[in-house]
Amino acid sequence: MTMMSDLSKDLVEEILSKAPITSLGAVRSTSKQWNASSKDRLLCKAEPREQYLRFMVMDHRFLSMTFNLHGILKGDGEVFVRSSIKEVGDIVNQIDISKVFHCDGLVLCVTNDNSSLVVWNPYLGQTKWIEAREPHDESDLFALGYDKDKNHKILRLYDEYYNYKFYNLKTESWGEEDYLPGWDIDSYNRGVALNGNTYFLTQEQRAKDKYRVYLLCFDFTTETFGEFLAMPFRYHRKYIGTLSCVGKEKLAALYQRWDTGEMAIWVTTKIESNEVLWSNLFKVDMKPLIRFGFQYCRDEAGSFFFDEEKKLAVVFNLDRKSDKMTKKKHCYHTAYIVGVKGYLRKVVLGEAVEVREGVYRSALVCSSSYVPSLEKINQIEEEEQKGTSLDGNTYFWTRERKKGYDSDEDEDEDTSPYFLICFDFTAERFGKLLDLPFTLDFVSEDNEILYCVKEEKLAALYQQCDTTMIEIWITTKIEPNAVSWTPFLKVDIEPLLGLDFLFNEDDSCFFIDEEKKLAVVIHADGFVEGKIFCERTTSLIIGENGYLKKVNLGEETYDHPLVCSYVPSSVQINQIAGREGRENKRKRKSKGKDLTNKV
């Protein structure tokens, strides 16, 4: 049988080249070779320059959109555009989304009921839920950014944007409310992330020139707004302006006059929190070419992205059509492709869902192209381990992640200690880091395993790799935010089993008999038969005086041994509710089936 590890590097890279870049996280744990190859693609072999991968929210569903503009400017007049829209991630099966914001590989989503925020790293598959203290208002604005130390934060603007506060993902807390009068941001003008900061279009209140529009930057390092920065156009009720970003270093501004149909795109030549310079790339009169305008999607100000090399803009809008027979109006999500010579083509993405009578929501498209991120949302290191349940909560061992530390490349130098941490299912959050009764770090290669004792206590097995000393500790007090320990058993097993014997937390588990002072450790025991390395599952019975007995449980399969104590339960699982949930999921999938195919 050919194993995945037997595949050549060229074949692995070919397989990865055909996989969506948002799915690469799933293959990282396959093997070291696959992990390295996926990183090579992440850092060096991203999507082709003519292909754009972006996230969008359309009819409250989170989608990935791929746009390929290859060949659209061929001299023979051929227009070739390919696009595909697909649902991505488990997040779409859990919530309806009203707003989306993208910042350097991380995605911020606002739930449709305004009760929660969700930060998601699609590449690593990590999700962080942030419950609101009180429901957000539908008009609140949110942005995701980071400071100079790469600490990610969320900005919230509310109360007609006179007030703002931010949430620190590292400390998991909201900062103090601040007040900044004198400026006005329309609710449909979403901010754009660039170099960790967020830029908004704004107008100065009570200004002499009421048509003057400015750029305003929120600096996530200083946690303050900067100065008003000049824009290359004036603002009016008959004008519309919206922002996007070009690559990682520039902002783009789209400006359209409703009365004349003129559309222009400007790109920054210099952009800092307190200084900006602009260059006009093209100006197009849209009226002779197409009935086109943002008036139908003013609630969202029209999303767009820009290809600076081809000088092409892809603008997302709502296209309304009336049925001549029924006189019923239909609204379609549409992408307009516009070049320096005017309108080139439109691509219909699907029919829009009516939010309420006569009201539709334009698709929200992230302004920047998606590039996967290795940034971990949670500050706690994730390990391949099994949690241990106690009193309805679950306990893990973990270590605090250092900023700037790459767990795959720098783990051999990481001496940060391990702790115990509890997920409290009542509070729906992790508690604080709890001390272990011994010092354990990654470099030492010592091993530690958790076990639950009679639904009341935790037991921890610890083995030092250099002395083969086994220690078992048991809790005298255990709560989500407090723990105390006492020794249970300490045995040196080297004289009995050999110096090379070492338990491994990945393929070992144990349980204890507190009354008899016995421990039973179940693990995968390796041996050589002929020239073939084999494994079998073995249980070792250990007492105060050392090793007592060894029992062979059978040949080891690909799955490591997992053992847990069973206590009968009278809790009934509602099978009807389960069927209803599955039916709702099927209905939800069929709702947007047409959007999962190529357009």
22 with 124, same domain: the answer is: no
Residues 225-250 have a mean pLDDT of 79
Token pair of 506, please?
């990945």
Helix (H/G/I), strand (E/B), else coil: 408: coil
Cβ proximity of 59 and 352 under 8 Å: yes
Q: Quick check: is 226 in a domain?
A: yes
158 with 304, same domain: the answer is: yes
Query: Distance between CA atoms of 259 and 250, rounded to whole angstroms?
Result: 29
Q: Quick check: is 582 in a domain?
A: no
488 with 504, same domain: the answer is: yes
Cβ proximity of 475 and 508 under 8 Å: no
Q: Quick check: is 573 in a domain?
A: no
The rounded percent of the chain whose pLDDT value lies above 70 is 61
The string of pLDDT tens digits covering residues 385-413 is 567 888 889 998 787 655 444 444 444 45
> For residue 183, which phi and psi values (nearest 5 degrees)?
-140, 160
Q: Which is more confident, 453 or 88?
A: 453
197-204 and 183-184 as β-strands: parallel, antiparallel, unpaired?
antiparallel
Q: Quick check: is 283 in a domain?
A: yes
Considering only 444-453, 511-520, 575-584, which range has the smallest mean pLDDT? 575-584
**Taking 70 as the threshold, does the pLDDT of residue 438 lie above it?**
yes
Domain with 470, as residue range(s), is: 388-555
Q: Quick check: is 273 in a domain?
A: yes
Q: Quick check: is 581 in a domain?
A: no
**Number of domains composing the chain:** 3
273 with 179, same domain: the answer is: yes
Query: Distance between CA atoms of 389 and 188, rounded to whole angstroms?
Result: 46
359 with 407, same domain: the answer is: no
Residues 507-528 have a mean pLDDT of 77
The string of pLDDT tens digits covering residues 258-284 is 777 788 889 999 988 788 999 988 888
256 with 156, same domain: the answer is: yes
Token pair of 458, please?
């935790």
345 with 441, same domain: the answer is: no
Query: What does pTM read for this prediction?
Result: 0.62
Q: Which is more confident, 204 or 521?
A: 521
Predicted pLDDT of residue 267: 92
Query: Distance between CA atoms of 550 and 368, rounded to whole angstroms?
Result: 60
Q: How many residues does the chain have?
A: 599
315 with 166, same domain: the answer is: yes
> Which residue from 333, 338, 307 is spatially nearest to 245, judged by alpha carbons?
307
> Which residue from 227, 234, 293, 305 is spatially nearest to 259, judged by alpha carbons?
293
476 band by pLDDT with thresholds 50, 70 and 90: very high
200 with 258, same domain: the answer is: yes
225 with 362, same domain: the answer is: yes
Greatest mean pLDDT among 22-26, 69-73, 299-303, 364-368 lies in 364-368
Predicted pLDDT of residue 338: 84
84 with 166, same domain: the answer is: yes
Q: Which is more confident, 307 or 583?
A: 307
Q: How far is CA 204 from the centre of its chain?
A: 35
Instruction: Look up the CATH number of the domain holding residue 311.
Output: 2.120.10.30
Residues 78-102 have a mean pLDDT of 66
Predicted pLDDT of residue 558: 45
DSSP labels, 511-539: EEETTTTEEEEEEEEEEEETTEEEEEEEE
Q: Quick check: is 258 in a domain?
A: yes
The secondary element (H helix, E strand) that includes residue 179 is: strand 178-179
Residues 109-126 have a mean pLDDT of 82
Tracing tokens 């649902």 back to the chain, one arrives at 87
93 with 202, same domain: the answer is: yes
Identity of the residue numbered 587: K
Considering only 292-301, 439-448, 502-511, which range has the smallest mean pLDDT? 292-301
